[in-house]
Structure 1
Amino acid sequence: MTISNQHARPRLIIAGTGSGAGKTTVTLGLMKALARSGMSVQGFKCGPDYIDPTYHTAVTGRASRNLDAWMTSPEYVREAFATASAGHDISIIEGVMGLYDGKDPLSNTGSTAEIALVTQTPVILVVDVRSMARSTAAIVLGFQQLEPELNIAGVIVNRCGSAGHYSIVKKAIEQMCGIPVVGWLKREEDMSIPERHLGLVPAIERGELEPLFERAADALLEGTDLDAIIAIAKAAPAIEEELIMNREDASRQNTDPISTGVHLKSSEDSTSGQLDEHGTSSSPVIAVARDAAFNFYYPDNLELLEAAGARLKYFSPLAGEGIPSEADGIYLGGGFPEEFAALIADNVSFLEGLREAVRSEMPLFAECGGYMVLAETLTNREGLTYNMAGIIPAHVQMQAKRAALGYREARAVEDSFLLKKGEVIRGHEFHYSTMTYQEEGDIPYAYETKGLRGMKQEGYARGNVVAGYTHVHLGSHPGAAVRWVQHCQSYRLRRSGQHI
């Protein structure tokens, strides 16, 4: 059963003409400036990226969300946006690459433009105007004409040499394109957002990037009409929000690989679930590793597990913590384990807890960084080798050259607690390490993945272990979250000696 309601959702997409145009600087400066003014800001990121949402979360104080109409469906994206934006004064969506760049050079698939069209969100286009004057108008005009249905509602010009330079490009754009230029940023090299270095997460947690966020807001406010930007956001059309009355039942019935999903507000440690005769929750507990080494999780994945009936218990391997005693399943996300390999290797209780979980057939899901930790050894960029869990008979080697990048459509090779054989889940792969198996001829691969360069076998699935480099999005197949939780519940009942 659904009820359709019209809801005002003031919103903007900050898009760039290309990577490096300055959209992240503008996004963070705008978020910080709006937050300073007392507005409640909800951040979003187009595409599968984890780093930019980490910035957003630090600036706004609330979890940023990924919107991706390839990994999930357009309907899922609309519901995800409607749910997460509810109750906030304004939503700021940061684009990915250039406005029209995505999975397919012949369409808007996987692009910022697709998200703008799906969510009916006005676009502020960020243009790098170094060494240009009237030619800037030609660029903006081309972006307008490529997709006439897109609402490019304003422009911010970046890296202007002077106020005079800004005046020239502003007049040219407004004359030829018929849209306002609402602001500009000076050509300041020190305003660049730092490279995505591996110490990013701990640096944010220590508050070291707060001065950068403040400077970005100051720079933006110096040359930008904030009221005009807010007016554009408020002029966004109301969106029709479908409120699923029985979300859990809808999720359980949903086995279509690419379809809408379930969104519930996440908490630090979920305590939802039924109570048993002793007054304690009977819902299965999934232990989620979360710290600077394991921090790449789509909030949707965690919420879909909760919606399917799981309680989430977070723990930190870097803080010396082992697998929580109440765990009925384990989720090891991605991150930077190679930067903390010595700490992980020294955490005997964590590594032995993983081994014991495998021996007891507890469901264990690991992706990217978590997958690496399940190997026998990990060699970091300095050439130092550390012993890991030894669950997967393989060695991990970090390298300077990127090993993989891109969307993945992952088809299950065999039945597992996550997928049935042949079922498909979508995700993204991005890593600088390689996994070398000891026995190349007898590897129990988890997936056959399809990407830009064709098909390959990937990951590891044996017993109740499913692992791989692919960061899956459960929203592409919500039935997988339900199956995972059901297997954790079965494990819980076995552990307690109850009949299933």
Structure 2
Amino acid sequence: MNIPRLLIAATHSGAGKTTLATALMAAFTQAGFAVQPFKVGPDYIDPGYHTAATGRISRNLDTFFLGAAGVREVFARAASGADLCIIEGVMGLYDGKGTTERGSSAEVAKTLDAPVLLVVDARSMSRSAAALVLGYRLFDPRVRLAGVLLNRVGSARHYATLKEAIEKQAGVPVLGWVGRREEISLPHRHLGLLPAVEKNALADHLELLVAVLEEGVELFRLLEVARQAPPLPETPREIFPATPLPPRVRLGVVKDAAFNFYYQDGLELLAALGAEIVFVSALADPALPPELDGIYIGGGFPEMFLKRLAANKGFLESLRRAFYQGMPVYAECGGLMYLCRAICDFEGREYPMAGLLPGICRMHSRRVALGYCEARVLADNILAPAGTRLVGHEFHYSSIEGMPRDFPRAYVLYREGDKEGLLDGYVHGNLLASYLHLHFAACPEVARRFIDRCEHYKRQRRVMGC
């Protein structure tokens, strides 16, 4: 497989990596290229901007979840039909799980033999930038540092000084620059960037990004670098079936501004294994559609839409009715919050929710959990049998209060550096709700079991005439 590709990395978080990667995606798309975007790591928000910039759905490349072979499979599958692949990295170039490179941008770059363009925040630096870039170049010689993009440069004169120092003393070409332009920054909130679905005038903002980028970056030079990436070997299929199975269940996926944290490859794997995906909205739909065989409620920002969620009583009632009829319900993070009796917002105001779990979800001003973790399944549930080991990710600012002590728990979670596990999630009949985000492409057997449980419910529903 011979596909031009670039990985956009940075020296650290906050250097402007997402803004500039999105700008590059939009610029090449406007120039007539079919650009396939990717994001390193378990991020749900950045891919939304990539998708808006390119018109192609962004995919996550995560070696912690998928391993090297899985990353290559996901990459090859999505790159089909593209002229150029642009991969946005995560955090700093070499930042991975703990003190290892696992899950890092560098590991993905090596896995895909992708040239790396390093974004450097050049504020308050001149010659020292060369020392910084030299360190990144030498830290791992197997990472091909193909160029530098300078961000937040003070002036054309400042850029000339930086360029000369880096190219002479670090031996890495400088391929362009962006000045100190606060108006191009993407908006943030407590979980990171504001999701693209909530960003007003996004098309105008993308136009501004491209205009600012093209003032100091020559796209053809970056394209030359991308075209230097060597061909990739053929990748065997280990995640997706060679031939998708025909639909055997209708799976309702709650996807709207409140719930939109889904891995695209996870959804497509569910479809390939026999699930007809039916998107529904907890904000706009008056009720669940008929003839569903299961429900999947992903993460998101329900805390930003509490009035609207609580006011949609018809949808909440239809969800309760489906649950009490035995329909499998799987919820992650924001979905878990929605299934509680109520959510208490940052100001202490309480809003009634689905009530499938008797506890209350309380928002906190400080982050409660962030990072990769491993999970051990405590009892048989709709996703996995007892004892199964899973890998996942947490990122939340809330906690669950008021649950009965004897309410069955879903997992024991083992976080980085923890010797003892922590209980997480709840199981109630055909319901499983947890703060743990899973990637179905990392555990195809879990996706199959979920669909099997939905099919079992479908047969029961037909027998009972529901």
TM-score interval (norm. to shorter):
over 0.9
Does the CA-based 8 Å contact 1:58-1:204 persist in structure 2? Answer: no
1:323 aligns with 2:301: no
Does the CA-based 8 Å contact 1:425-1:473 persist in structure 2? Answer: no
The aligned residue for residue 273 of structure 2 is: 308
Task: Spell out the pairing of 1:357-368 with structure 2 (5 A cutoff).
Answer: 357-368=322-333
The aligned residue for residue 145 of structure 1 is: 138
1:476 aligns with 2:442: yes
Of 423, 442, 447 in structure 1, the residue corresponding to residue 406 of structure 2 is: 442
1:464 aligns with 2:440: no
Separation (CA, whole Å) in 2 of partners of 1:321 and 1:180: 56
The aligned residue for residue 256 of structure 1 is: none
The aligned residue for residue 233 of structure 2 is: 240
Separation (CA, whole Å) in 2 of partners of 1:60 and 1:120: 23
Unmatched 5+ residue regions in structure 2? none
The aligned residue for residue 416 of structure 1 is: 381
Separation (CA, whole Å) in 2 of partners of 1:181 and 1:169: 9
- Kindly tell me the number of residue pairs found equivalent between the two proteins: 463
Unmatched 5+ residue regions in structure 1? 1-6, 245-259, 266-271, 275-280
Separation (CA, whole Å) in 1 of partners of 2:149 and 2:422: 42
Does the CA-based 8 Å contact 2:48-2:196 persist in structure 1? Answer: no
Alignment CA distance shift 1:364-1:43 (3 Å): same
Q: 1:264: how far off?
A: 8.9
Q: Secondary structure at the match of 2:73?
A: helix
The aligned residue for residue 115 of structure 2 is: 122
The aligned residue for residue 252 of structure 1 is: none
1:437-478 Cα deviation digits (max 9, x unpaired): 332x21311111111252211001121111101111112211
Q: 1:416: how far off?
A: 1.0
Separation (CA, whole Å) in 2 of partners of 1:128 and 1:199: 19
1:54 aligns with 2:32: no
Separation (CA, whole Å) in 2 of partners of 1:25 and 1:200: 10
Of 453, 459, 463 in structure 2, the residue corresponding to residue 493 of structure 1 is: 459
Of 252, 258, 265 in structure 2, the residue corresponding to residue 287 of structure 1 is: 252
1:269-299 Cα deviation digits (max 9, x unpaired): xxx865xxxxxx6x11110111101111011
Q: Secondary structure at the match of 1:242?
A: coil
1:362-407 Cα deviation digits (max 9, x unpaired): 1110001110111111111232211111111100111111111111
Separation (CA, whole Å) in 2 of partners of 1:127 and 1:87: 31
Does the CA-based 8 Å contact 2:263-2:439 persist in structure 1? Answer: yes
Give the structure-2-normalised TM-score. Answer: 0.95
The aligned residue for residue 452 of structure 1 is: 416
Task: Spell out the pairing of 1:105-254 with structure 2 (5 A cutoff).
Answer: 105=99, 107-196=100-189, 204=197, 207-244=200-237
Alignment CA distance shift 1:203-1:124 (3 Å): closer
1:397 aligns with 2:390: no
Q: Secondary structure at the match of 1:217?
A: helix
Q: Secondary structure at the match of 1:84?
A: helix
Q: 1:346: how far off?
A: 2.0
Separation (CA, whole Å) in 1 of partners of 2:132 and 2:199: 40
Q: 1:348: how far off?
A: 2.1
Separation (CA, whole Å) in 1 of partners of 2:37 and 2:367: 28
Moved more, 405-414 or 200-209: 200-209
The aligned residue for residue 37 of structure 2 is: 43
Corresponding letter in the other structure for 2:408:
P
Alignment CA distance shift 1:287-1:402 (3 Å): same
Q: Secondary structure at the match of 1:178?
A: coil
Corresponding letter in the other structure for 1:475:
A
Q: 1:64: how far off?
A: 0.7
Task: Spell out the pairing of 1:243-282 with structure 2 (5 A cutoff).
Answer: 243-244=236-237, 260-262=238-240, 274=246
Q: 1:59: how far off?
A: 1.0
Does the CA-based 8 Å contact 2:152-2:179 persist in structure 1? Answer: yes
Separation (CA, whole Å) in 2 of partners of 1:203 and 1:82: 26
Does the CA-based 8 Å contact 1:104-1:110 persist in structure 2? Answer: no
1:192-213 Cα deviation digits (max 9, x unpaired): 2211468976764675222222
Of 62, 70, 82 in structure 1, the residue corresponding to residue 64 of structure 2 is: 70
Q: 1:352: how far off?
A: 1.7
1:51-73 Cα deviation digits (max 9, x unpaired): 11111111111211111000221
1:27 aligns with 2:5: no
Corresponding letter in the other structure for 1:189:
E
Does the CA-based 8 Å contact 1:185-1:219 persist in structure 2? Answer: yes
1:81 aligns with 2:97: no
1:233-253 Cα deviation digits (max 9, x unpaired): 111111113254xxxxxxxxx
Q: 1:100: how far off?
A: 0.6
Alignment CA distance shift 1:464-1:425 (3 Å): same
With CA pairs under 8 Å and 6+ residues apart, which has the higher RCO, 1 or 2?
A: 1
Does the CA-based 8 Å contact 1:263-1:303 persist in structure 2? Answer: no
Corresponding letter in the other structure for 1:123:
V
Separation (CA, whole Å) in 1 of partners of 2:147 and 2:48: 26
1:112-170 Cα deviation digits (max 9, x unpaired): 11111111111000111122222111111100111010000011111111111111111
Separation (CA, whole Å) in 1 of partners of 2:389 and 2:276: 25
Identity across the alignment (%): 47
Corresponding letter in the other structure for 1:461:
V
Give the structure-1-normalised TM-score. Answer: 0.89
